[in-house]
Amino acid sequence: MHPKALTLTEAARNFSDFINRVAYKHERFVLCRGRKAVAELRPVPSGRRLGDLLGILRSLPHLSQEEADAFSKDLTEARQGLPAEGLRDPWES
């Protein structure tokens, strides 16, 4: 989504409205003085902390033993179908 151009006068006159649109609708605005962009009004990026990762992983569904065995078998068959030559380690310098 591209930010919408907004004059500083418009922003000043309707500041609360634009803040609500940014906060609740995740809209972005480029503030312009004349025809020159001078600032951007956008939502603060939100995310998760690394410390939350273990809880997130624990909350995910788990494979049953039967499903895990079938997945392992599928991986083995897929690896056997790969060409023996031509593969290289991308981490090798």
Greatest Cα pair distance in the chain: 68
Structure confidence by residue, pLDDT tens digits, 40-81: 999 998 888 899 999 999 999 989 999 999 999 999 999 888
Distance CA 16, CA 39 (A): 17
pLDDT at 1: 66
Q: Is residue 22 part of a domain?
A: yes
pLDDT of residue 93: 67
Residue 14 pLDDT exceeds 90: yes
The DSSP bridge pattern shows strands 36-41 and 4-7 to be unpaired
Task: Evaluate whether residue 81 is within a structural domain.
Answer: no
Amino acid at 41: L
Percent of the chain exceeding pLDDT 90 equals 68
Domain containing 30 equals 4-41
The CATH number of the domain holding residue 34 is: 3.40.1620
1-12 average pLDDT score: 91
